Structure formats: C-alpha cells, structure tokens
C-alpha cells in the first residue's frame, strides 16, 4: 500500500471500526437487514436507532423527511449500510454510552452494475439527509501513509480512542470528524481502524465536498421523542416478538410502513417465511431478465461450484404478497460468507475473470421468479441486447478492480483482550478448565504477534481473571452476552493497582448496566455472528498449543492434509515401528482410513476417548477446512494437540501442490496392487480420483495453505518428496496433466461430483486414463529419480515430530505482517564497525586506550542513534520516520565523550532521498558503554557533564562515517 501511495497512484483512506454489527437499510418499504438475515430483533433495533437519529437530526420535520428518504431510496434502488452500535444486543468490546449507527456504505442497485459511493460521496449524501458519518482520515502522500502504519504499530497494543484519534489527526493530510464522538458515545475502547486504497483524486473530491456540505444541524436535540431504546426493551421483557412490535410501533409508519418482514402478512407464523432450498437452484437455472441478475447468477454459481464457505438463505418476500401468483414468485435471498479464505479464493477468480462482481461479507437481494410470455420474453431479450450494445457488459462496467477492493482491518489489543481473550474464552475456561484456557489465550496472542512483554502481562492478568470468575461462578458458566458485567469491574480493580496495569487494559470502570434492558435473543439464534466467537479473527478455535510443549497428560493426533500417493500409510507404518516412538512413553497407534467402514473421524474420536494419552496416527487424507474443523473440535473435546504432516511442494498460485508432485502421486498410485481402498492400477478411474483430491485444495497457494495450518494447529511437519536439483517436468507429462485438469473442470461444471465413469465425458475420461498410464510409465525413470529416498523422508519427519512433541519447535514465519508495538525510531548501526572504530581510536590515542581498558567493549551487541521515542517525543514524532523505514543513511561520528560511568559517540545523521534525517534528541549519540547500574539513557547527560568538567571529549578530524539503517524498535 505504501509503495502505491509513494508513486502517486492512490490515497490511503482510514476510518474508525466501531464495536458494532453490520446493519443495512433499503428503500423497499423500509426493508431492514442484519449481516446475514432480516426480520429479527437485530433489524428491529437497527430500524429504531436509525429512526431516532432521524428525529434528532430533523426535529419536527422528521416524519416528512423520513417519508421522502424512503421514497428516494426506493425510487433509486438504494441500500444504506451502517455499523449499529448498541448496548441492548449483547456485549462486544465495550458497552456504548449511547445507542447509535454510523453509515459505512451507500449503494445504488439500479440497472447495470451497482454503484458504490466513494467516501466523499457518502459524506455529501449523509450531510444532505443528516445521517451519521464515520471519522475518516486521508493520507495522500508516501510520508503520511508510511507514518500512519508506523503510528498504528506504535499504538496497536495500548491505543485507545483519544490517543489514536489525536495521533491520526496530526499525521493525516485531511481529517473529517465523525458525527458521533467515539469517546462520548461509545467510550475509550476502540475496536480498530479500516484502511483501504482509494483514488488519488479522492483528496480533492473530499475538499470540494467539505466546502459545499457543512456538518448538518441537529434540530431535534432536546425534544421528547418518547421512550428510548433501552426503556422499550426493559418494558417489554416478556418475549422477543413483543419487543420487536414495540420498537417498530415507536418508529412510526413514515419510516417503517411495512412490518411484514418481521411478522408476515396479517400476523402469519413468522417461521412460514422460510422458502424451499430449491429456490437457489431455480434462480441459477432461470433466464436472467437483466444484466444485474446475470452477474449475480455468475457470482452465486461460482461460489456454489467452488464450494466456498458461504450460506445462501431464501425467504418469502411478504412485501410482495399482493403480486404473488403461481407464475410470479418473490423471494429474499441473503448471502453470508463465513470464512476469509473465501475472499482470497474469490479474488483469484476475479483476476482470471475480470467481469466478476466483487464479493462482500453479507448482502441480500430481492428475487422475482416468473414465467414470461412471448411478448415479455421479447422485451427481456431486447433489453439485454441493448444493454450489451450500450456497454452495460463491457469491461468499463466490470467491478473487478483489485485495488479498489483492498481493505485491511487493524484492531487494538485493548479491544481484543475483552472480545477474544475474555469473552471467547469463557466456554473453554468453564468446560475445560484453567489449563486449557491458558493454552487458548497464549495461542491467540502468538497468532496476533503480540509483543513478549504484553504476553507476559496479559498472561498474569488472565490467570487471575480465570481464578476470580471460576471462584465466583463455580460450574455455572458466565453468559457471553453480559460478560462485561463481571469483566469490567475486575479490569477496573486491576487497572487501579499501577499505571502499567492501566495501560494494559485501557479504559476501565465506566460500565453501563444492561441486565434490565438487554433485548431478548433466542437461544443459539445469533444471526449477527457477534455474540459468538468471531472465528475469522480468533482462529483457530479451541485447539491446544503445541508450540510450548505437548503435555504428557494430553494426547496427540498426527494427520495428513495430502493426496493419495503421498506415502502416508507407509510413513505411518514406519513411525509405528520406530524405536522410542516420539521420545516419550505415550503409546503410538495408527488407524487406516481404507480399513474403517464407519465414519472415519468419529472412529478417531472414539479411540481418543478410550486412549486419551496416546498418539494417534490418522492414516487418511484430510484435505479441507471441514475436516480440519472436525480435528480442532476433537482436540478440544478430548484434550489433545494435532500436528499436520504435509508433503513438501512448491505449489502453484492456486494450489499447494505442484504438477510435479501430482505426477509422482499418480505414478505411485498406478503402481499399487491390491490396495485396501481399491485405488490402484486396477482402478479404471484412478487418475480422475487423484484430480478430485487435487482440486479439493484449489484456491490456496502453498504459503496460504501452510499458514492456515500453522495458525490452526501451531505447527507443521514437512515430508520431503522431490529433489531440488531435478530436471523440469517432461512436456508430455505436463500436457497430459493439464488435459486432465481441463477435462475435470468440464466434467464437474456439468455433473458436479458424479464419477467419471458416468455422465457426458465417459469416452473422454477412458481415453485420458489410458494415455495417462502410457505417458507416466514412459517417463518412469524420470519420475523415480526425482524423488527423495523414502528412508530420508521418514527420518526427517520423525525428527520433526520428536521436536514438536518435546516442545523444541518454532513455527516457520508465515509472512504475516508483524504488529509488535513500536517504542522508538532509530538509526541502527553495524556493531562490528563501531567496535572497529573504537579499536582504531585506542591504538592511536593513549587516553582512549586507557579508558577502554577493562570496559569489555567487545560485548557490545547493539548500536543505534535514537531518532524519536514515543513517550518522550510523541507518536507523531516516531511515526514520521515511517517514510524512511529500512533506508540507508550516512552517519558522521564527530567525537567521543566519556566519563567514569559512561561513553558515547556524538553523531550527526545525513540525508536520504534528499531529506535530512534529524534526531528529536537534543544530542544525537551512540551509547557505547555504561557502568553497572547505569541506564543507557543516562548517556544523554554527557554534554552537561562535559561543561561541569566531569567528562572528556575527543574530536575526530576528519569525522568517521558509518552507514546506518532507519528501523523501529
């Protein structure tokens, strides 16, 4: 991102991420939607909050403006997306002082492609209609954008709303305050920031909007609008339906004229709104009536074919009940993406198919399935043709702009402490005990890259929290929906003990009591996904860390995310027969998938319960996230750790296994005889089966594949397969594999999971299988010689497993951005050159030689010139050096100053990119030595000691020049 900004191609836009839920409001008779559903308590609360904010903004004109607003949205087919911040729907990061919403997106869903408003357009739209806006900062230069990321790194572990907003206001090129002050409305605990690349014209556009649209007045402040949200929820505690009705009645018909989304037509049973699952199939098979429908079908079809982790729910559209007929049906389809992996996979598809429209976490559409007569069919056909002619379907209307869809969420540790470490850990703490809870929160902090110091502080505090809450509640688990009633008082008392504790937990003690007014949410009915563990950020689920040690009282599951032919069964056999097992006294067992008739992973779980302290070799391919989740759950239920063993491979951009590896796997399978699973040379479709397994991994590069396994299970073992000095894959082998992949895609597109011996391509498959065997055996010598000897592979796997079992293991770097907190910026200097300069000085100057005697300068392990320290000079001072991070800078050493307690070089940094690097210290220097008990910062006093005659100075003529590097520490 920084590099793009440096070239002047784009502007970095940053906005606040509130501790709230996604809420959408559409103009279709006041339709309201939560992240992945509608017609429930969440959307009723959202409608009420939006209606109340409209009244506060427009005062006595509110009803008129509400009706105009609804009509405007419906006429222009618009949808408003908001962050709903409320205390009545359960605890999140912090209970807000006020219930409010902030507009985050505005979309026109008219003919052709949807139009997503830019941030300046959102500001203009919201100020016109007096809707609440977010706090936004724009960084339009390389320096300011670099400073932003440096500021976040400096604040990510202690930042609260006041310090973060102040720092960003100082750094940003443009700062637009939000309609609601976060500290006053929600509190100091800040969930995070959302950063994305926007057009380089955005700054000028924003300046123009701010000139034309001033912050709107609030004509309704002080007026009595009747009971508040919290009062209504408190007065209607008998049932959820009663709460919803009271909220909608209070909003009024001008804002929400139709309640059928919640209660159906004439109060019909709300459960009757669920439509048959076949609606999705009918929708995908229907002829699209317009270009937008065609693009939506394309998106849904791709997600279904690729088996993306997403839910597609359909409901009857009761708002259109009067228009329904046998040949004219109306539905609501809600699409909710469950996993971040879906977005990574989808973005790759967008690169291959630029016409794809982008994917969002949760969205909804109205569907009208109708049978068209000849006249209507002709109109539709003509409309589509005109759309193509008018450019509706050309590349200019495509939405696959990768940069425009880039977004990164940057969360703060004080929020994550409350939401992930405390709230999401409750079930583990109460069901599994303090040991499992400790493993969970240590694992989370390692995933986040939390600094070692904060890990130690948080571990101590969370251990204390576990004892406190277990002692108070015993075996009765604290509800996650009101956990802050216990957590905040605990955090407040903890913070009072020391300034260090206060910084650790952020703001604590300003607790809003919710027990009397929290909305009624059906058991297990978390439509928002916010009252349960936020799995994407808090992955993995309740697994036990193997990166510290694998406790001997726990079991171990070794499993194989691989492909048939990877030699896992042969490996398991060798591991069973290895003397000494895994280096401890736990028994080792193996369960071969091909010999298990029942459900395999259930069988593994049963064996785990019978032998909880054993090591289980799960001899079955575990190819996808569904299986990995089963293993995670098994670990949680049976107190075990899990270690994935994967065949080593370079992979491709979209698959963790290369064609070279696939060729070897196929070659091995086709040499088998009498395989227990009947996958051997006698199998007529062995090649197809291998391709099926190969495509189960489709969508993940090798780095993404390994990173996800490490994040979920804490470790990974790599089994060598191919020699690094091998010749390239022969062209005939590569061609036959590519032909098979293309045929597989054709087959699955038409027939799904139907076997290759059935369907439209049986002849093609038979010919391909025959040719595959011929080509692979023609190149048998090549395929045999490129493989690492099996004995070597077994040896390496055994060593890795032993190391993990005894805790002597550090997971490889998954190349994720490290978010350790920044304390200061400095020029890092090469220690050997500093030591060499001192040695030369001593050789030429008896005074220096005498001083250095017995000082053990050779033990100097770090040398730097401090540029700025966040506690002494402020966040902005440190962050400003972000533009020069890792740049080389010449540093002149002008003199040596020393006393009986310390010594330092006087330093003068030079220029980089034509700009002088200036230290914020009054005396830039390199500390060389301090006596025992003297801190390094005391070297700052050497100039004053020199004036007092208590220090000496030796000037260098000419100065010594050493090259340093700008770094953060």
pLDDT 10s digits, 507-529: 877 677 766 677 776 443 433 33
Q: Which residues contact 754 (CB under 8 A, 6 or more apart)?
A: 747
The yes-or-no verdict on residue 380 having pLDDT over 70 is no
pLDDT digits (tens, 9 = 90+) for 10-48: 688 889 888 888 787 876 555 677 766 778 888 899 999
Average pLDDT over residues 730-754: 90
Highest mean predicted confidence (pLDDT) among 101-115, 378-392, 419-433, 940-954: 940-954
Average pLDDT over residues 763-769: 94
In this predicted model, which residue has the larger pLDDT, 912 or 385?
Answer: 912
Pairing of strands 824-829, 915-916: unpaired
What is the C-alpha separation between 334 and 796, in angstroms, rounded?
A: 49
Contact 555, 640 (CB under 8 A): yes
The yes-or-no verdict on residue 585 having pLDDT over 80 is no
Instruction: State the residue for tokens 């034309």.
Output: 212
User: Given pLDDT bands bounded at 50, 70 and 90, which one contains residue 385?
Assistant: low
Question: pLDDT value at position 405?
Answer: 53
- Helix H or strand E segment including 330: strand 328-337
In this predicted model, which residue has the larger pLDDT, 812 or 43?
Answer: 43
298-333: b (≥16 Cβ within 10 Å) or e:
bbbebbeebbbbbeebbbbbbbbeeeeeeeebbbbb
Q: Say which DSSP state 200 is in.
A: T
In this predicted model, which residue has the larger pLDDT, 58 or 852?
Answer: 58
128 is catalytic: no
Question: pLDDT value at position 542?
Answer: 33
The yes-or-no verdict on residue 550 having pLDDT over 60 is no
In this predicted model, which residue has the larger pLDDT, 863 or 389?
Answer: 863
The yes-or-no verdict on residue 221 having pLDDT over 80 is yes
User: Given pLDDT bands bounded at 50, 70 and 90, which one contains residue 399?
Assistant: very low
In this predicted model, which residue has the larger pLDDT, 363 or 126?
Answer: 126
In this predicted model, which residue has the larger pLDDT, 329 or 191?
Answer: 191
What is the C-alpha separation between 603 and 607, in angstroms, rounded?
A: 6
Average pLDDT over residues 184-212: 91
Burial class (CB in 10 A: 0-12, 13-18, 19+), 589: middle
Question: pLDDT value at position 558?
Answer: 92
The yes-or-no verdict on residue 394 having pLDDT over 60 is no
Instruction: State the residue for tokens 């590099």.
Output: 3
The yes-or-no verdict on residue 376 having pLDDT over 50 is yes
Average pLDDT over residues 879-901: 93
What is the C-alpha separation between 956 and 321, in angstroms, rounded?
A: 90
Average pLDDT over residues 860-865: 87
User: Given pLDDT bands bounded at 50, 70 and 90, which one contains residue 160?
Assistant: very high
- Of 17, 416, 568, 620, the catalytic one is 17
What is the C-alpha separation between 634 and 627, in angstroms, rounded?
A: 11
Question: pLDDT value at position 778?
Answer: 95
Question: pLDDT value at position 577?
Answer: 84
In this predicted model, which residue has the larger pLDDT, 941 or 252?
Answer: 941
913-940: b (≥16 Cβ within 10 Å) or e:
eeeebebbbeebbbbbbbeeeeeeebbb
What is the C-alpha separation between 388 and 92, in angstroms, rounded?
A: 47
Question: pLDDT value at position 353?
Answer: 85
Question: pLDDT value at position 633?
Answer: 77
State both tokens at 250. Answer: 């209070």
Instruction: State the residue for tokens 């589509």.
Output: 384
Pairing of strands 10-17, 32-34: unpaired
Question: pLDDT value at position 212?
Answer: 95
Pairing of strands 615-621, 555-560: parallel
The yes-or-no verdict on residue 374 having pLDDT over 70 is no
User: Given pLDDT bands bounded at 50, 70 and 90, which one contains residue 533?
Assistant: very low
Q: Say which DSSP state 94 is in.
A: S
- Measured CA to CA in angstroms, residue 536 lies from 309, 420, 526 at distances of 12, 11, 16
| Mean pLDDT estimate for the chain | 84
Contact 937, 861 (CB under 8 A): no
Question: pLDDT value at position 551?
Answer: 46
pLDDT digits (tens, 9 = 90+) for 443-480: 888 888 888 889 999 999 999 999 999 999 988 889 88
The yes-or-no verdict on residue 568 having pLDDT over 60 is yes
From the list 844, 848, 678, 691, the residue with the least C-alpha distance to 764 is: 691
Question: pLDDT value at position 342?
Answer: 81
Q: What domains can you pick out in the chain, each with its CATH number?
A: 1-144+168-263 (no CATH), 277-384 (no CATH), 412-505 (no CATH), 824-968 (3.90.1740.10)
Question: pLDDT value at position 406?
Answer: 65
Question: pLDDT value at position 266?
Answer: 64
Question: pLDDT value at position 395?
Answer: 43
Question: pLDDT value at position 932?
Answer: 87
Question: pLDDT value at position 392?
Answer: 46
Question: pLDDT value at position 814?
Answer: 42
User: Given pLDDT bands bounded at 50, 70 and 90, which one contains residue 779?
Assistant: very high
The yes-or-no verdict on residue 330 having pLDDT over 90 is no
Question: pLDDT value at position 337?
Answer: 84
Contact 441, 421 (CB under 8 A): yes
Q: What is the pTM of this model?
A: 0.70
The yes-or-no verdict on residue 735 having pLDDT over 90 is yes
Handedness of CA 168, 169, 171, 176 (dihedral sign): positive
User: Given pLDDT bands bounded at 50, 70 and 90, which one contains residue 2?
Assistant: very low
What is the C-alpha separation between 137 and 117, in angstroms, rounded?
A: 17
Instruction: State the residue for tokens 């075996």.
Output: 475
- Helix H or strand E segment including 615: strand 615-621
Question: pLDDT value at position 379?
Answer: 60
The yes-or-no verdict on residue 3 having pLDDT over 70 is no
The yes-or-no verdict on residue 197 having pLDDT over 90 is no
């Amino acid at each position: 991102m920084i590099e793009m900004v440096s070239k002047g191609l784009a502007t970095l836009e940053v906005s606040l991420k509130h501790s709230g839920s996604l809420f959408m409001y559409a103009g279709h008779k006041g339709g309201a939607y939560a992240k992945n559903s509608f017609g429930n308590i969440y959307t009723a609360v959202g409608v009420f909050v939006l209606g109340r904010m409209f009244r506060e903004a427009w005062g006595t004109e509110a009803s008129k403006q509400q009706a105009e607003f609804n009509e405007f949205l419906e006429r222009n087919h618009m949808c408003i997306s908001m962050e709903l911040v409320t205390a009545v729907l359960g605890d999140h990061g912090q209970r807000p002082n006020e219930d409010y919403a902030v507009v985050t997106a505005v979309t026109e869903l008219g003919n052709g492609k949807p139009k997503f408003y830019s941030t300046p357009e959102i500001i203009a739209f919201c100020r016109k209609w007096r809707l609440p806006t977010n706090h936004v900062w724009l960084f339009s230069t390389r320096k300011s954008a670099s400073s932003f990321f440096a500021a976040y790194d400096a604040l990510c572990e202690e930042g609260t709303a006041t310090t973060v907003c102040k720092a960003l206001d100082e750094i940003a090129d443009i700062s637009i305050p939000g309609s609601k002050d976060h500290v006053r409305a929600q509190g100091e605990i800040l969930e995070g920031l959302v950063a994305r690349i926007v057009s380089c014209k955005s700054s000028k556009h924003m300046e123009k909007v701010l000139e034309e649209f001033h912050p709107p007045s609030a004509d309704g402040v002080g007026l009595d609008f009747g009971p508040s949200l919290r009062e209504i929820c408190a007065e209607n505690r008998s049932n959820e339906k009663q709460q919803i009705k009271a909220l909608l009645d209070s909003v009024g018909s001008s804002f929400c004229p139709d309640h059928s989304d919640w209660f159906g037509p004439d109060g019909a049973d709300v459960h009757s709104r669920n439509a048959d699952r076949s609606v999705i199939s009918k929708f995908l098979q229907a002829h699209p009536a317009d270009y937008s429908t065609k693009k939506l079908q394309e998106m849904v079809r791709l997600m279904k074919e690729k088996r993306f982790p997403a839910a597609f729910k359909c409901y009857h559209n009761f708002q259109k009940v009067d228009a329904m007929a046998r040949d004219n049906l109306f539905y609501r389809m809600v699409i909710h993406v469950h996993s971040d992996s879906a977005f990574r996979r989808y973005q790759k598809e967008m690169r291959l198919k630029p016409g794809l429209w982008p994917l969002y976490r949760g969205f909804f559409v109205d569907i009208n399935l109708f049978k068209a007569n000849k006249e209507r069919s002709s109109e539709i056909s003509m409309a589509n043709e005109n759309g193509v002619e008018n450019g509706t379907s050309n590349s200019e209307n495509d939405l696959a702009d990768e940069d425009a869809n880039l977004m990164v969420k940057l969360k703060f540790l004080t929020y994550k402490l409350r939401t992930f470490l405390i709230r999401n850990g409750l079930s583990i703490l109460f069901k599994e005990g303090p040991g499992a809870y400790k493993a969970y929160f240590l694992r989370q902090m390692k995933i986040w890259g939390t600094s070692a110091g904060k890990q130690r502080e948080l571990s101590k505090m969370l251990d204390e929290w576990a004892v406190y809450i277990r002692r108070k509640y015993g075996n009765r688990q604290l509800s996650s929906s009101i956990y802050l009633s216990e957590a905040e008082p605990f955090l407040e008392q903890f913070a009072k003990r020391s300034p260090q504790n206060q910084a650790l937990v952020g703001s604590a003690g300003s607790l809003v009591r919710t027990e009397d007014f929290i909305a009624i949410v059906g058991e297990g009915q978390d439509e928002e996904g916010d009252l349960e563990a936020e799995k994407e950020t808090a992955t993995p689920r309740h697994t036990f860390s193997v990166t510290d040690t694998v406790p001997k009282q726990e079991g171990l599951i070794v499993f194989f995310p691989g492909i048939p032919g990877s030699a896992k069964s042969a490996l398991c056999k060798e591991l069973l027969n290895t003397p000494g097992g895994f280096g401890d006294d736990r028994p080792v067992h193996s369960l071969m998938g091909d010999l298990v008739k029942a459900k395999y992973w259930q069988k593994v779980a049963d064996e785990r319960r019978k032998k909880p302290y054993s090591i289980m070799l799960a001899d079955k391919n575990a190819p996808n996230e569904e299986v990995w989740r089963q293993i995670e759950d098994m670990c949680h239920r049976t107190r075990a750790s899990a270690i994935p063993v994967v065949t080593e491979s370079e992979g491709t951009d979209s698959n963790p296994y290369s064609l070279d590896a696939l060729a070897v796997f196929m070659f091995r399978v086709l040499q088998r005889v009498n395989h227990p699973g009947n996958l051997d040379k006698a199998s007529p479709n062995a090649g197809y089966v291998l391709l099926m397994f190969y495509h189960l991994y489709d969508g993940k590069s090798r780095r993404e594949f390994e990173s996800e396994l490490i994040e979920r299970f804490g470790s990974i073992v790599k089994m060598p397969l191919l020699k690094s000095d091998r010749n390239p894959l022969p062209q005939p082998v590569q061609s036959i594999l590519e032909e098979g992949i293309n045929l597989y895609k054709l087959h699955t597109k038409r027939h799904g999971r139907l076997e290759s011996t059935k369907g439209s391509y049986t002849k093609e498959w038979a010919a391909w299988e025959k040719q595959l065997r011929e080509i692979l055996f023609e190149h048998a010598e090549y395929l045999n010689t490129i493989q690492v000897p099996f004995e070597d592979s077994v040896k390496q796997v055994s060593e890795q497993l032993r190391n993990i079992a005894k805790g002597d293991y550090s997971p490889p770097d998954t190349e994720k951005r490290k978010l350790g907190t920044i304390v200061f910026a400095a020029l890092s200097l090469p220690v050997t050159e500093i030591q060499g300069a001192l040695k030369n000085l001593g050789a030429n100057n008896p005074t220096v030689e005498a001083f250095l005697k017995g000082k053990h300068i050779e033990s100097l392990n770090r040398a730097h010139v401090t540029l700025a320290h966040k506690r002494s000079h402020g966040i902005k001072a440190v962050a400003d050096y972000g533009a020069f991070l890792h740049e080389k800078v010449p540093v002149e050493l002008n003199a040596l100053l020393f006393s009986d307690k310390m010594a330092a070089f006087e330093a003068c940094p030079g220029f980089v990119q034509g700009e002088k690097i200036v230290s914020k210290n009054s005396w830039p220097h390199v500390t060389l030595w301090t006596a025992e008990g003297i801190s390094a910062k005391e070297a700052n006093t050497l100039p004053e000691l020199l004036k007092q005659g208590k220090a000496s100075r030796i000037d260098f003529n000419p100065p010594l020049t050493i090259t340093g590097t700008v770094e953060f520490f």
